[in-house]
Amino acid sequence: MDFRISADDRVGAQPAQKGKSQPRAAAKGQRIEPSIGQSMGLLSDRERPVGGGSGGGGGRKPPKAQKPEKPRRGKAETAKPRKKRRSGGFLMGLLWWGFVACLWGGLAVIGVIVYYGAQLPASNTWAIPERPPNIRILAADGSLISNRGQTGGEAVTFRELPYYVPAAFIASEDRRFMSHFGVDPIGLISVAIESVQARGVTRGASTLTQQVAKNLFLTPDQTLGRKVQEAILAIWLEQNFTKEEILELYMNRVYFGAGATGIEAAAQTYFGVSARNLSLGQAAMLVGILPAPSAYNPKVNPERAIERQRLVLNLMAQEGYITAEEASAARIDPDQTVRTRVAGSESYVADWVESLMTAYIGDIQSDVVVQTTIDYKMQKDAEFIVREAVAEEGAKRGFSQGALVAMDVDGTVRAMVGGVDYQASQYNRAVTAKRQPGSTFKPFVYLAAMEKGYTPDTLAEDAQFDYNGWSPRNASGKYAGTVTLRQGLAYSLNTIAGRLAIDVTPEKVIEVAMRMGISSPLTPVPSIALGTQEVNLLELTSAYAPFANGGNGVIPNVITKIEDVSGKVLYEASDAGPGRVVDPKVLSEMNDMLKTAVEVGTGRGANIGGWDVAGKTGTSQESRDALFVGYTSAMVTGVWLGNDDNKGTKLSGGNVPASIWHNFMTKALAGKNPAPIPSGSYAGQVIAQQLVDPNTGLPVVDPATGQPQVQYVDGGTGQPVQTTIDPATGQVVAIDPTTGQPIQGLQPLAQQTSNPPIQTNQMVDPATGMPVTNGADPWAQPGQTVTYDANGQVINPNAGLVQDPNAGLNAAPIDPETGLPMTLIVDPATGQQVWVPSAPATQNQQVITQQNNTFAPPAAVEQQPTYQGERQQRTLMDLIFGN
């Protein structure tokens, strides 16, 4: 029989729901195999079999069958794997979208790089820009005076430096420098993490290579484009240069503050040593400046500089470049003062040298080394003496500045002080400033008078007078009456200098001053006698050098040689100069008067025991300027004191300036043997001597040319010598009649000068090194060179004009009756210059010797008689006013 069990018969079964068919039961003994549909519970009602039954259950509607447990279990089992697939899909999705994001991010980065990289020039045009040239200025002994140029120091190579100098840069600025490729990814990530944690940017992430790229090629703008270009250029640098070369570029071009660019400039600026000689502590302090040069500068903030030094030393120890003990030993005690170099008076010299460079070698293309004439010890002595005098006397005498120029008698500058404190003011009061020289200008007035025929013993009247509304007064307000010119100069009597300037004419005074070395433009007015027109101290001092060296003009010189860094000579000084500018006899008279000015006159405070000393004091109006210029046979020195604002003082040239001169020269001359001041001589030179007819006393005229004849004599003995024209040079040379060869030791005529001196209009401004025109020759145009023949006469386009040795002019017409050059005077009726016949010369009078000229007073003064013959005792009152 069939035995059927329904779902309701199961333990805990629920009644079948109405209307639901039940699956058909299997026959007795028959196995029922579940189908996929059954097992998954996915079959529809139509697909399920409906069984009929007999017995008690056969007549009723079969209850709704419950879902079998197995399918439920199967459903649960299939759900679990689906959950696993969902979790794995999330991770896969995360990885997928991360990959996609990275891909798009990478494309974006590439796009940014391409975009900003395209704005750079083609890589085949990239090149390291030339470093601005440096001018290394050395003293005569080779010690460094200063560096000049945009960087303030020369470039040094990696291997010239102690090992700890580049190590300090690496440890502090880029510790993975030797291993990265120009950009440091590890450093970037580290900085990013630090910045996130700090919620702000903590530090930069640029490598040394990137900083080099920025300094060489880019602007300092903090923009995305600049950072991208910086990275591109950094990688290019790494591909084209070694690590040492890149670090060398960085060290030589990074800014350290205080105007110092590069490690050498920084070492010199802060410590006064070369980078090659830096100590470990100094190197660490310099590297510590780099993050903020203005804040960590040891000149400005030494405490912060010490802190930064400790930090760099610790980093060097951490990286293994030095030991902890070495780091500790190199640290500066916080209580110890950081000593940095202070720019002294030698910086005024360096500025002057730098200003001359273009005139000497043109535009500077690379580093150069300049050898100067400066004596470094003498320079420091001068600086100390001037500063001490201003500090001690300045407050009570009302002055705040001083300047000094010292040179050998040949114009070689040995020391120059342009002011009291270079740090406070870089204005050079020795070269750039022009001030009234006061009575220090008077020697040029007296020199013009001596050349005209006066002597130191000529009498003059020290008394007030009026000339066309100009009435000079003595500084003391007192007048001495009749005095000699020697006394007039020694005691600096203004009335005497004024009378002389009127007599010789201001134009002549200017000609003499320019011949001696004054290059500033001067105006021909009578007050020039009192030094009312401005000059600089350098040219004024150099104009006294001919008095000290025997009568030869000088051009102030501070540069002996200029070389490039490879040793190639770009410029070398020569010994050429203006030649003789003062006649020996006149020079002796001038030295006589100027020595008197120091022995008993206003310059008494300048006396030095054992030495011949000569010089002149000067004080301008209201004592705005006080000067003393003096000399020995070894050196010439000028001193100026005053105020930059031209405020009056309580100074005079004879007090503090003379004292400074005395103190400086005592040190400068220490160890040298005293020698007398030379008066000059024509010994060893060929002199042209005018031939005079002994019967008439008139010059012998060559009938072929109509010119006065001359003979040549040995300047030392006065004996006639035979001469010839040197075919190689065209100069007149003396020959030995027995051998026919030139006499050794006698200079050709063209190498000497007569009185007034033979010279050209090419002069050099000592302040600029550029040619200037002295205006002495009436036919010369600015910059034109005047040519002279073998007799010392001017060759010019105007026929019949020759040099006039009497009037002190370059040329004069010939008097047809006497054959003598005529004299230029001022017509008292018209005030115009006119030529008049000259007095006849005495027998055997040399061309170089002054004759007593016809005196023609200015228009406002009565015409006086003609004086002639040998020089005689006379008074200026007789000459000018007829007394």
- Active site amino acids: 173, 439
Name the strand (E) or helix (H) holding 562: strand 559-564
For 399-416, the DSSP string reads: --EEEEEEEETTSBEEEE
Q: How many Cβ atoms sit within 10 Å of the Cβ of residue 454?
A: 24
Q: What is the rounded distance in angstroms from the CA atom of residue 108 to the CA atom of residue 103?
A: 9
- Please name which of 676, 678, 633, 630 lies closest in space to residue 654, comparing C-alpha atoms: 630
DSSP 680: -
Q: What is the rounded distance in angstroms from the CA atom of residue 445 to the CA atom of residue 502?
A: 10
- Tell me, what amino acid is at 687? I
- Tell me, what amino acid is at 246? I
User: φ, ψ for residue 193 (rounded to 5)?
Assistant: -65, -45
CB-neighbour burial class of residue 350 (10 A; exposed 0-12, middle 13-18, buried 19+): buried
Which residues fall within 8 angstroms of residue 96, CB to CB, at 6 or more apart? none
C-alpha triplet 180, 186, 192: angle, nearest 5°: 140
CB-neighbour burial class of residue 777 (10 A; exposed 0-12, middle 13-18, buried 19+): buried
Cis peptide before 748 (omega within 30 of 0): no
Name the strand (E) or helix (H) holding 662: helix 656-668
Q: What is the rounded distance in angstroms from the CA atom of residue 299 to the CA atom of residue 281?
A: 16
Q: What is the rounded distance in angstroms from the CA atom of residue 112 to the CA atom of residue 93?
A: 28
Which residues fall within 8 angstroms of residue 148, CB to CB, at 6 or more apart? 134, 135, 137, 350, 351, 353, 354
Return the residue matching tokens 């206003």.
Answer: 602
Q: 3-state SS of the chain: helix, strand, coil percent to 5?
A: 35, 15, 50
- Residue ranges of E strands in 3-140: 134-138
C-alpha triplet 122, 124, 127: angle, nearest 5°: 100
Q: What is the rounded distance in angstroms from the CA atom of residue 749 to the CA atom of residue 379?
A: 40
What value does the CA radius of gyration of the chain take, rounded to a whole number of Å? 50
Helices then strands, each counted (H, E), the chain: 21, 26
For 612-647, the DSSP string reads: --EEEEEE-GGGSEEEEEEE-SSEEEEEEEE-TT--
8 A C-beta contact, residue 249 and residue 130: no
Q: What is the rounded distance in angstroms from the CA atom of residue 784 to the CA atom of residue 802?
A: 18
SS (H, E, C) 486-552: HHHHHCCCHHHHHHHHHHHCHHHHHHHHHHHCCCCCCCCCHHHHHCCCCECHHHHHHHHHHHHHCCE
User: φ, ψ for residue 216 (rounded to 5)?
Assistant: -85, -40
- Residue ranges of E strands in 102-250: 134-138, 144-149
C-alpha triplet 750, 754, 760: angle, nearest 5°: 60
Name the strand (E) or helix (H) holding 795: strand 794-795
Query: What is the DSSP pairing of strand 134-138 with strand 368-372?
Result: parallel
